[in-house]
Amino acid sequence: MKIRKFAAIDIGSNAIRLLTHNVIEESGKATQFRKSALIRVPVRLGEDSFTVGEISENNIARMVKTMKSFQLLMEVAGVEQYRACATSAMREASNGNEVIETIAAETGIHIEVIDGKQEAAIIASTDLKELIRPDQSYLYIDVGGGSTEFTLFTNGKIERSKSFKLGTVRLLNNMVGEGTWNNLQEWITVNVKNASKLSIIGSGGNINKLHKMSGRKEGQPLSYIWLNAQYHFLESLSYEERISELGLNPDRADVIIPATRIFLSAAKWSGVKKLHVPKIGLADGIIKNLYHTRENN
């Protein structure tokens, strides 16, 4: 048996995450990927990028400190290879390249900016394949701070994929117009009209938190009825009450409402009544992609 360490850094619009996996190789058996640690730092880059168009000096400094700590943690853990990917907030920041160069110079960590299609493809390389049955259709929804990726699976394969500038941080800052919602509704209704036995698979920190709050066991889906009731319940509480009474983190207590709205809207327009929450996302896909790319070279 050989145990190897791989890591992924996911630089999102609402937070930055470091995920490490133990990759277990054993002769005659399938390679196993087991989460070792997940560290989440609430650096909300989207509030800079989407409102003023660039990453602020304060958040650049916070990013540098975060990456320095990640670099040390990976070194201590014995990580042999990592990949750092940044999504919409860094894509849209006018000083994004400058920030990347600064971080590389000060921490040695090299960041790759990926687009929505790359994001969807990386996510599709996760354990998602094990959940997808060939006789059913699935609408995979990954809600982020700056964008949401929608991927339609039919016959066990990706049929359509599209990224919309519809994210929780954008919604909080009133930066999503009716046109974006209308475009999403049209895309969903057109693409799922011939889909048989359609289900939704949701990913992202907010739907994971909602699933935990529901008290359902791992593998049990959320119902549209429960999600709709929870949405109205969350809206009835103040930001402070969501923190004090529900125990939500300050950087989760605000974005969870727009995230729930996105999932509810997609479920309504697609006619789906149940949402599966496998608790996998971009960082998991980065590690799988990184390992298999390395092995095939």
Name the CATH superfamily for 128-279.
Exopolyphosphatase. Domain 2 (3.30.420.150)
Domain 2-116+283-296, CATH? 3.30.420.40
Order across the sheet with 81-86: list the strands: 32-41, 16-25, 2-11, 81-86, 111-113
Separation in Å, CA 107 to CA 61, 63, 90, 96: 12, 10, 18, 16
Give the model's pLDDT for residue 253: 97
Burial class (CB in 10 A: 0-12, 13-18, 19+), 159: middle
For the chain, residues with pLDDT lower than 50 are none
The pTM of this model reads 0.89
| Distance between CA atoms of residues 227 and 207, nearest Å | 10
Structure tokens at 67: 């990456």
Give the model's pLDDT for residue 172: 94
How close are the terminal C-alpha atoms of the chain, in Å?
22
Paired sense of beta strands 157-164 and 198-203, if any: unpaired
CATH 3.30.420.40 intervals, the chain:
2-116+283-296
Give the model's pLDDT for residue 279: 85
| Distance between CA atoms of residues 126 and 230, nearest Å | 29
Instruction: Look at the alpha carbons of 75, 79, 82, 88 in this order and tell me if their dihedral is positive or negative.
Output: negative
CATH 3.30.420.150 intervals, the chain:
128-279
Q: Please name the residue that has the structure tokens 């359902």.
A: 216
Give the model's pLDDT for residue 127: 67
Order across the sheet with 137-143: list the strands: 157-164, 148-154, 137-143, 198-203, 274-276, 222-223
Q: Which of 231, 214, 294, 220 is CA-nearest to residue 265?
A: 231
Q: How many CB atoms lie within 10 A of CB 111?
A: 22
Q: What angle (nearest 5°) sits at the alpha carbon of residue 161, between those of residues 271 and 292?
A: 125
pLDDT tens, 173-198?
999 999 999 999 999 999 999 888 89
- The answer for residues whose C-beta is within 8 angstroms of residue 276's C-beta and 6 or more apart is 131, 199, 200, 201, 202, 221
Residue 137 belongs to what H/E stretch? Answer: strand 137-143
